Structure 1
Amino acid sequence: MLKVDVVGNKKRKRCGKVFRFKNFGEPGYPVMFNGPFRENVNALLEYANLESNLSMEMPMWSFQLEVHHHPPLHILLFVIEEPIEAALNRHCKHCQYVGWGNHFICNKKYHFVLPSKEALATCTSCEGCCDAVTTINNGKSKLIELQGHMMHGVFHSNGFGHLLCINGLEMGSNLAGNQIMEFWNRLCYGLQARKVSLNDISQKRGMELRLVNGIAYNESWFGHWGYKFGRGCFGVTQSMYHKAIQAIRSMPLYLIIHHIANSNHGIPLIFSRYQTLSDQSLVTLGDLFCYMLDLKSRLPRETCISSYNTNTLAVETNCRWSPKRIEMATRVIVEALKRTKFRWVSRQEVRDAARAYIGDTGLLDFVLKSLGNHVVGNYLVRRSLNPVTKVLEYCLEDISNVHPYDNEGLVMSNKVKDKYKITRAQLMKDMLYLYKYILIDPKPMMGSEFLSAIPLAARIILDTKYFIKDYFGDIPYQVELGSNDKLNLYCTIWLRNNVGSDEYLNKAIMPPHECFTLKRNATINDLKLEVERNFREIYWGLRSFVVESFRNLSVNNETEMVFGLIEVGGKVVLEGWQGDIGINMIEQICESDPNNGIMDCTCGTIEDDGERMVSCDICEIWQHSRCVRIPNDEEIPHIFLCKKCEQEIVLFPSLP
């Protein structure tokens, strides 16, 4: 395979190109994306390393991406092309769950994977930094089958896709979650993806984050990148979802305290703690959760804002310096900061000033590292990273005038303790307490119909997992309508059965429009041939598709000029038939698996939404196990009858 370099358009060596992670996918980097999705993917892969040494049935390419130059950090992006012949099940369950079951099955899928450290650990290098052999010999031979990647997204060849997973720093990744999402978003825009879905099941310490973020920000975490309500489970609609979020967000804190003050003393204390910290009034539950999440993002990870009851730092049991030496170094550093007259100074400047009195540089480094955002005596030692110089800076804040100490000058007032004893751990503990006893568990609020609505609304939010972003919708991409003597229009097809019937398939399963670029003098016959070729290449069930006529255009002669009948950029529907498929076989070429059976649940759901289900042993109708009151921690019974069949059996006359 010929490799093309970004600069000079020349042949390059196999591992000769490293791309910047933060720019990868932007227009022109590494390529200008000027066509529909399939063409853009092929253009991108011209800059990749073909993993030709793999004994796999699916071709794979790799890109080496530089995250940081100093210190050096590189990651690999794998692109795997999965033909329909290699799929264990040609029907896409992700399409079914999100409501795209009426889409035609595509010939190919493209997996974009930022592999996890565990996946890379199973790979061996081959003559270079980019030749990763990913044949796994422990029962799973495909990289795309492994779990826990930093990122795994998949696109169908028609431009619809699914973001399958995102794992940030807390899951052991080299990248933060927002960095990965920015990268994914650039890929989707650059490749001209149409619509992308995801299943938001992210948790932290037992809390469902789509509920926490929904209350705090009126949207899920993925909403920052434009992902909106896609499909609710258990019959939840978009209107129900938004009303549930608003109901909880607007819940006044004083009413919650009024109803639970006698049964739960912890919640009023938490409300009071964060109202004291906040510079603005926290009126509603949405205000409180929003403030707590914003505060969490500002607290340092290693050592959070805290107060001490002694003038010295807490000393670890295995510390090689005595408490007396640490106390002396602490006093020296605080005195040096006093002389700066409460201005911000760099870490190096503080260290140099203290070295005149403390010769042990290791001790100074230890104290400086441990001292940030701690209270020593009457002062709060603040530490911050300068956003411009990227240098750590220190500053003293005198808190003695506002909150005086007692006679010993050691013990702080309760209010100061509240203000300077909030750690990340404490904040998460408080949030988990609110999550459990306000949003999930109604027991502390028994007897209050007003507050019992909160867990019901929370259940609606939790039943909304599927979110979708519409990148380009039905129009695959926007182009200049006329360049190099070529013009563009958009075409789709209307599939007719071939069993002698005049019935047509429902319009809902028409594939989305594709953009066609034709010469100015192209004929109707040229257009038909292009449409047949493109739709055969995209969709598995249309490999012998034949165009017969136009549904929204009157054509007398196939030699007529296309742009004499159709305006540039116009939409055209062509009618045709698939030679080897009849009306009873149409479901076989759609993403929805006809073998899944019929679903008709009491919640109103009539399509598989990915939740656990149970089938009646008589009528074979599927329902949610939750809706028929089978707890998730219980196994599905061997014999199950729905209520309708149960009633019919009861009413059935007994035999003599």
Structure 2
Amino acid sequence: MLNVDVLGNKKRKRCVRVFKFKNFGDPGYPVEFNGPFRENVNALLEFANLEANLGLGMTIWSFQLEVHRHPPFHVLFFVIEEPIESSLTPHCKNCQYIGWGRHLICNKKYHFLMPSKETLAACLSCEGLQCDAASPGMNNGKSKLIELQGHMMHGVFHSNGFGHLLCINGLETGSDLAGHQIMEFWDRLCTGLQARKVSLNDLSQKRGMELRLLNGIAYNEPWFGRWGYKFGRGCFSVTQPTYQRAIEAIRSMPLYLIIHHIGTSNLNIPIIFSRYQTLSDPSLVTLGDLFHFMLELKSRLPRESSFGFCNANVLAETNCRWSPKRIEMATRVIVEALRRAEYKWISRQEVRDAARAYIGDTGLLDFVLKSLGNHVVGNYLVRRSLNPVTKVLEYCLEDISTAFPSHEGLIMGNKAKDRFKITRAQLIKDMIYLYKYILIDPKPAPRSEILSAIPLAARIILDTKYLIKDYFCELPFQFELDMEGKLSLYCTIMLRNNTGHEGYLDREMPPYECITLKSSATITDLKLEVERNFKEIYWGLKGFVVESIVNLNANGTDLVFGQIEVGRELVVEGWSSNMGMNMYESDPSNGVVDCTCGTKEDDGERMVSCDICEILQHTRCVRIPNDEEIPHIFLCRRCEQEIVQFPALP
């Protein structure tokens, strides 16, 4: 068991409570979460080990979590409170990238960290988790635990319940936990704390392949989609309908069309297609079918062994009432009938009628036709598919001798088990090949307009990185008069313009907050409680004063319970003495974005500023490669045209 003495305070002795990793965050473990987000965080921290103050007002708590007992394996989970006064900048770039730039800045952030062995060792190398002033990039004692990269998990929450999952690092990056285990822990924690919305930047990869592209094609959703994360915001002005159309375009691409256009110039692709067609019982028709089957097969394959699949061994049926010799004869007759069709699709009835000239037993023919569907006989793959128009089963023959050139003739008995074996390494190699030469960079470039659209659609999917999960819609507060006679209301505020101009600030209202009052509370008590809550949450509302409640005519001494029903949503008008642009997450000093792709806000992609008008545009959109430095002097197209139109000097 690890002794949590992270801050090097060796004199302190205490008993560290250990929690189960797989249950942490569940209802009642370690605490019932019944309030809004910030209250639930405080309730959780009552069970944590208080480590120390990090300097600059930051405090750290720790939990020790038991992953399994035999052999003993524990991980550390930290919560760090970062007040706005301790931040280098009050603005959150993650909020700007996801489109939450119009949110008010919160007074606090909470960092949820699960460090790896390497990052924890790096923290312990700095005494007290504070880096020496001479250390570059540590910013005068700012917590190195927050600054370091490579944590197993790092998420940050604003005190209003909006958060960002900054990183998840699983086994492939050297972590002791799998990525899905960490994500289940994070999702359980967010659900328990009753977070509002959580965003993430999906940069997950496997062997250099972007998972948002692979999983999008195979499962119609990104890898994080299994936990409810959906399209949040696309870079380069990609919209959700465009994103969905791009996924569907690639998923529905027929394999025969790809073979027709690429197979003659790239022989490896039809070989790979045939290899997995032989292993699949249902026919693989589209690119989505193929990638889905390959990912599912990969999840079942042992890491160091091979997968054997006997597709043509209909002779080995132990409970079959026909002899192996009769089955073999019927198989040869059916394959020969399909060969005479010259590799065209023909109906099941046509195949059956052609074989009846040689095999009179219709029961035997029906049995063999059922067994041969999508199986291999000799150098041929017998494909079976349901015609989407006629709803009739059809068969065709596919020559796969190029896929397995070392085997010939009809496969019988147990020899079939040796023919179709695939290792996990071979499957990953095939997947990487298809990923590169079909999705990313098909070579030679396909002449077909349909196939040339695949890399363009893949680019759109890759440009969709920001995902969001709305937790609050799943766990709304239940409003009722509790046993202590308290009632709950939903309240938000509308800020009045106090600059001498009439009207309200052109900003969206903050999210509704749950305000709890005694049943004897008056309207004045309600206003004071709204002031207290919003001052406690938001940095720019320290001077907030409530003036009135919209659509409610009541005196300050009137009882709330008599005027407003439990659970009602209220909008409160007011103003703040320190209102200004700096109270919002969007940083006005970042400049104005107006790119040719349509982007109007910073989306986290590399940008260049025009040296004349100072408008920001994507380097990709102005054709500056990512591997090249931004030029010292850059002019946007509009400014260039205006300079060209200047009259010549005399």
Same-fold status (TM-score > 0.5)? yes
Aligned match of 2:533: 534
Cα deviation for residue 106 of structure 1 reads 0.3
The answer as to whether partners of 1:19 and 1:63 remain within 8 angstroms in 2 is yes
Cα deviation for residue 429 of structure 1 reads 0.9
Aligned match of 1:250: 252
The answer as to whether partners of 1:122 and 1:134 remain within 8 angstroms in 2 is no
Match of 1:646 among 630, 633, 640: 640
Aligned positions of 1:170-185 closer than 5 A: 170-185=172-187
The answer as to whether partners of 1:36 and 1:476 remain within 8 angstroms in 2 is no
Aligned match of 1:624: 618
Aligned positions of 1:152-551 closer than 5 A: 152-305=154-307, 416=417, 419-420=420-421, 422-473=422-473, 477-506=477-506, 508-551=507-550
Matches of 1:243 and 1:480, distance apart in 2: 44
Cα deviation for residue 412 of structure 1 reads 9.5
The answer as to whether partners of 1:241 and 1:464 remain within 8 angstroms in 2 is yes
Aligned match of 1:86: 86
Cα deviation for residue 624 of structure 1 reads 0.6
Query: Relative to structure 1, is the Cα distance of residues 145 and 478 closer, same or farther in structure 2, using a 3 angstrom cutoff?
Result: farther
Unmatched 5+ residue regions in structure 1? 1-12, 127-131, 308-403
Aligned positions of 1:116-131 closer than 5 A: 116-124=116-124
The answer as to whether partners of 2:304 and 2:423 remain within 8 angstroms in 1 is no
The answer as to whether partners of 2:215 and 2:222 remain within 8 angstroms in 1 is yes
The answer as to whether partners of 1:18 and 1:63 remain within 8 angstroms in 2 is yes
Q: TM-score, normalised by structure 1?
A: 0.78
Aligned match of 1:134: 129
Query: Relative to structure 1, is the Cα distance of residues 418 and 266 closer, same or farther in structure 2, using a 3 angstrom cutoff?
Result: farther
- Between the two proteins, what is the percent identity of the paired residues? 73
Match of 1:577 among 575, 578, 581: 575
1:425-475 CA distance string (max 9 Å, x none): 111111111111111113324311110111111010000000000000598
1:301-347 CA distance string (max 9 Å, x none): 1333479xxxxxxxxxxxxxxxxxxxxxxxxxxxxxxxxxxxxxxxx
Aligned match of 1:70: 70
Counterpart AA for 2:221: E
Cα deviation for residue 55 of structure 1 reads 5.3
Unmatched 5+ residue regions in structure 2? 1-12, 310-405
Counterpart AA for 1:134: L
Q: TM-score, normalised by structure 2?
A: 0.79
**1:444 match: secondary structure:** coil
Alignment of 1:606 with 2:597, yes or no, is no
Matches of 2:129 and 2:491, distance apart in 1: 40
More off after superposition, 110-119 vs 474-483: 474-483
Matches of 2:584 and 2:125, distance apart in 1: 40
RMSD between aligned alpha carbons? Answer: 2.4
1:119-170 CA distance string (max 9 Å, x none): 22235599xxxxx953455543420111010000110000000000001111
Aligned match of 1:391: none
Matches of 1:83 and 1:249, distance apart in 2: 46
Matches of 1:153 and 1:545, distance apart in 2: 30
Matches of 1:417 and 1:304, distance apart in 2: 11
Matches of 1:538 and 1:36, distance apart in 2: 12
Query: Relative to structure 1, is the Cα distance of residues 115 and 477 closer, same or farther in structure 2, using a 3 angstrom cutoff?
Result: farther
Aligned match of 1:563: 561
**1:256 match: secondary structure:** helix
Cα deviation for residue 655 of structure 1 reads 2.1
Cα deviation for residue 630 of structure 1 reads 0.8
The answer as to whether partners of 1:102 and 1:509 remain within 8 angstroms in 2 is yes
**1:52 match: secondary structure:** strand
1:387-413 CA distance string (max 9 Å, x none): xxxxxxxxxxxxxxxxx999xx9x997
Cα deviation for residue 424 of structure 1 reads 1.6
**2:420 match: secondary structure:** helix
The answer as to whether partners of 2:247 and 2:457 remain within 8 angstroms in 1 is yes
Counterpart AA for 2:248: Q
The answer as to whether partners of 1:193 and 1:476 remain within 8 angstroms in 2 is no
Alignment of 1:42 with 2:36, yes or no, is no
The answer as to whether partners of 2:212 and 2:461 remain within 8 angstroms in 1 is yes
Query: Relative to structure 1, is the Cα distance of residues 71 and 56 closer, same or farther in structure 2, using a 3 angstrom cutoff?
Result: farther
Aligned match of 1:28: 28
1:371-402 CA distance string (max 9 Å, x none): xxxxxxxxxxxxxxxxxxxxxxxxxxxxxxxx
Q: Which runs of 4+ in 1 moved over 6 A?
A: none
Counterpart AA for 1:484: E
**2:238 match: secondary structure:** coil
